[in-house]
Structure 1
Amino acid sequence: MKSWKDDPRADTNPLFNDNAIKLGVFGLNGIGISMTDAPEAAKADWNESATVAKMADEGGFEAIVPYSRWRGYIEEEPAHRSGLALDSYTWAAATSQIAPRPSIFSTSHVPTIHPIAAAKQCATIDQISGGRFGLNVVAGWNKPELDMFGASMLDHEDRYGQAAEWIEILRELWTRDEAFDYEGRYYTIKKGISLPKPIQKPMPPIMNAGGSDRGRAFAAKYSDMAFVIIRSDDPDEIRREADHYRDLARTEHGRDLQVWTLAYVVQRDTEQEARDYLNYYAVEHGDDRSLEGFMAMHNMHSQLLPKDVMEAMKFRLKAGHGGFELVGTADKITSRLELLAKAGIDGALLNWVGYEDGVGRWVKDVMPRLRQAGLRRT
């Protein structure tokens, strides 16, 4: 079985380097993933995004990953700021030109774009970026957004069935030189072809997040990076979650994959300063209306959980979409990343409320410590 560490795409794409913990900036095309009204929060502004992308490039990050968003979380207020996001495909093409080293992703919700159009756009960005493109595939979960497209909100199993056909068609379009027909349950292709092909062979890497059994099976079969939400600080529990994906990929499909996670960052000179800022943006300026809208979309009913558990979950969602906590001093954050690496996590996508300030602090103080700890190369 071939390891991703020997992947030929490493010639152009830093996702396949040998750093023990790889790093990416997440949500830079929008307002970030923290639910906050803090005035310094991102505003889906291209100039701000471009500035931070250059900082991430110069600081040695492996990836910059956007999200896809078409409307706000509040049902009765579609134009709410929670829907602010630059289109992830055109954003990726532009960002690849100002950040010449990291892997640049697009995020695509399967029901919102036809696979032929997606394949062409992805191959184009791979050409533009010199073989550094990556695709984050989302099966589709936001019903109000799908309603905008006139797309049906399928049940859980069917969503992954459609996503499987979608990726299979992309693979054919990226790798076959001759036209082909495809007859599936969700797509019918007549003499499909896409030119030019991507630079990366056999194809650009795929990232996918799936927490259910069906989602894990999908990620194990189709993705190069499985994206997991970590809900524990116990390294044994984290390793069990990561190994579950790897074991599925190896035993069922004879392939290897990376396991990444999401983390929110509050870095300050003291632990107290970091905790105070976390409270400032997640509590004092917490966007409770977006939180309630998001929870309603996911049928997160308060009566199903004890009050203290529900309040903790709400706080984590506002703080950073339920991601892993990286809060404290540079030393504390380094030790937390050491925990992830030792538990089998290959990479972390990071989010800050104020990206420019946060990435600047990270590059200055955390990156040197990660090198000293042996987690990253000099």
Structure 2
Amino acid sequence: MSQDNIKFAYWVPNVSGGLVVSKIEQRTSWDIDYNRKLAQIAERAGFEYALSQIRFTAGYGAQNQHESVTISHALLAATEKLKVIAAILPGPWSPVLAAKQLATIDQFTNGRVAVNIVSGWFKGEFRAIGEPWLDHDERYRRSEEFIQALKGIWTQDNFSFHGDFYRFHHYTLNPKPLQQPHPEIFQGGSSRAARDMASRVSDWYFTNGNTVEGIKAQVDDIRAKAAINGHSVKIGVNAFVIARETEAQAHAVLQEIIAKADPEAVNGFGGEAKNAGASSPEGEGNWAKSTFEDLVQYNDGFKTNLIGTPQQIAERIVALKAVGVDLVLSGFLHFHEEVEYFGRKVLPLVRELEREALAAKSPALV
């Protein structure tokens, strides 16, 4: 596979309730046996990454949650090539604990762990676990220091750091991670603070689902700022995938998901999320413009419109790649069956379209 091919990740269903806030049947389980088998299916299907979720309290159907770093290690132990991205929340974790945990896992798995730094948006969760709730931009300042500390611990001996949130004095971590220069660092967010942080310190930036035009604007903004900072950042976009033999079948599934949505849970999530974004200086965050229907998939996955036939979905994925997307982070209704179907029906079409685009651009290279 070419290094330039778009990559695929899936959301690890390590919390109950699936990936939509709906009472529709979801043949998806949060238990470890289901997740081990899913990781193996995804690896065979051609997925490069899996992203574990971080939750400490119940919310919008997620009554039960497995801890992200622990389940990430379990999935790595069950696979051979898949890279698992463990979500970590500054506050409950310190950089030194995260650095030590992940370096050990990296050693045990031949360099297959990554980290997603979640700045936090759920005030009620912070209050429940006794963590201070910082102002919006302060949460991102803390996350940026967290990432700077991770990088320093992973790459330097006698590391010292004097920030507003974290301080280190001649600390040396041994052994360090196998990956060079360090495990990949992901982050999300759509606010100005989130995008600016990505343009300075993160390897990858996750954005919520959006139209091709909306995603292009974000990609252009982040990469222009990153260039000024002498930095480079790759882009991942969230998408809920409904691939069926006909477009009508796919849209019928979407309508059933929305029709069976849990209004109380959706509105509760929407209220929390929008309150968090409203505290940013620009007055909006990830879900500022999301409708009720959008919030049924809690990272705006329907907006990306990977809903239709395998050919339609493949064409839309290649259109995302054309505006600078490097990775599609996918959710599904019935993970085992649909991840396998995606690998068998959609992914080969994506690779074919990528080859055709490359041939049209540079005939001598193919």
Q: Does the TM-score normalized on the shorter chain lie above 0.5? A: yes
* Distance in structure 2 (CA, Å) of the matches to 1:40 and 1:230: 21
Once the two structures are superposed, the pairs formed by residues 206-217 of structure 1 within 5 Å of their partners are 206-217=185-196
* Correspondences of 1:253-264 after superposition (within 5 Å): 254-264=230-240
Aligned partners of 1:311 and 1:186: how far apart in 2?
32
Distance 1:227 1:98 in 2: 26
The residue that corresponds to 2:112 in the other structure is 132
Q: Provide the C-alpha distance between the structure 1 equivalents of 2:257 and 2:21, rounded to a whole number of angstroms.
A: 8
Q: How does 1:352-371 map to 2 (within 5 A)?
A: 352-371=332-351
- Structure 2 distance, partners of 1:214, 1:106, is 22
In the alignment, the residues of structure 2 paired with residue 188 and residue 256 of structure 1 have an alpha-carbon distance, to the nearest angstrom, of 26
Give yes or no for the alignment of 1:243 onto 2:243. Answer: no
Aligned-pair CA distance for 1:246:
1.2
Q: Check the 8 A contact 2:88/2:116 in 1, yes or no.
A: yes
Q: In structure 2, what is the equivalent of residue 10 of structure 1?
A: none
Specify the alignment match of 2:325 in structure 1. Answer: 345
Report the residue type matching 2:273 in the other structure. H
Which residue in the other structure is 2:47 paired with?
61
User: Are 1:270 and 2:254 counterparts?
Assistant: no
Report matched runs for 1:326-337 at 5 Å: 326-337=306-317
Report the CA distance between 1:195 and its aligned residue: 2.1
What SS class does the counterpart of residue 240 from structure 2 fall into? strand
State how 1:366-377 maps to structure 2 within 5 Å.
Answer: 366-374=346-354
Q: Describe the SS at the equivalent of 1:106.
A: strand
Contact 2:28 2:336 in 1 (8 A): no
CA displacement at 1:108 relative to structure 2: 0.6
Deviation of 1:222 after TM superposition, in Å, equals 1.2
* 1:29 paired to 2:25: no
What's the CA shift string for 1:21-69, capped at 9, x where partnerless?
Answer: 1110113322443212223253311111111110111111111111101
Distance 1:310 1:196, change over 3 A: closer
Q: Indicate the RMSD between aligned Cα atoms, in angstroms.
A: 2.4
In the other structure, the counterpart of 2:102 is: 122
Structure 1 pair 23–251 and aligned structure 2 pair: CA distance change class (3 A): same
Q: Within 1, Cα distance between the matches of 2:85 and 2:224?
A: 26
Q: CA deviation at 1:218?
A: 0.4
Which whole-Å CA distance do the structure 2 matches of 1:128 and 1:43 have between them? 27
Asked whether the 8 Å contact 1:21–1:375 carries over to 2, the reply is no
Alpha-carbon distance in structure 1 between the residues aligned to 2:312 and 2:237:
18
2: distance between equivalents of 1:351 and 1:336? 16
Determine if contact 2:106/2:178 at 8 Å carries over to the other structure. yes
Alpha-carbon distance in 2 for matches of 1:297, 1:95:
31
Aligned position for 1:298: 273
Q: Read off the aligned partner of 1:125 and give its amino acid letter.
A: I
- Aligned with 1:298: secondary structure? helix
Tell me the CA shift for residue 105 of structure 1. 0.9
2:30 aligned with 1:50: no
- Do 1:30 and 1:42's aligned partners in 2 also have CA atoms closer than 8 Å? no
2:26 counterpart SS class: coil
In structure 1, distance between residues paired with 2:212 and 2:347: 22
2:297 counterpart residue number: 319
Asked if the contact 2:19/2:331 (under 8 Å) is kept, the reply is yes
* Native 8 Å contact 1:108 1:138 kept in 2: yes
Q: How many residues align?
A: 344
Q: What is the SS of the residue equivalent to 1:227?
A: strand
Conserved in 2, the CA contact under 8 Å of 1:63 and 1:102?
Answer: yes
Report what 2:70 is aligned to: 90
Q: Distance in 1 between matches of 2:152 and 2:305?
A: 39
Q: Distance in 2 between matches of 1:354 and 1:47?
A: 15
Counterpart secondary structure, 1:319: coil
Q: Which amino acid aligns with 2:107?
A: Q
Equivalent AA in structure 1 for residue 172 of structure 2: I
Give the stretch that moved more between structures: 199-208 or 313-322. Answer: 313-322
1:170/1:189 CA distance change after superposition, 3 Å? same
Map of 1:78 onto structure 2: none
Counterpart of 2:228, as a letter, is T
Which residue identity lines up with residue 274 of structure 1 in the other structure?
Answer: A
Fraction of identical pairs, as percent: 26
Query: Is the 1:263–1:320 Cα contact (8 Å) retained in structure 2?
Result: no
**1:54 is matched by which residue type in structure 2?**
Q
Q: CA offsets, 1:97-132, max 9 Å, x none?
A: 212112111001111211111111111111122112
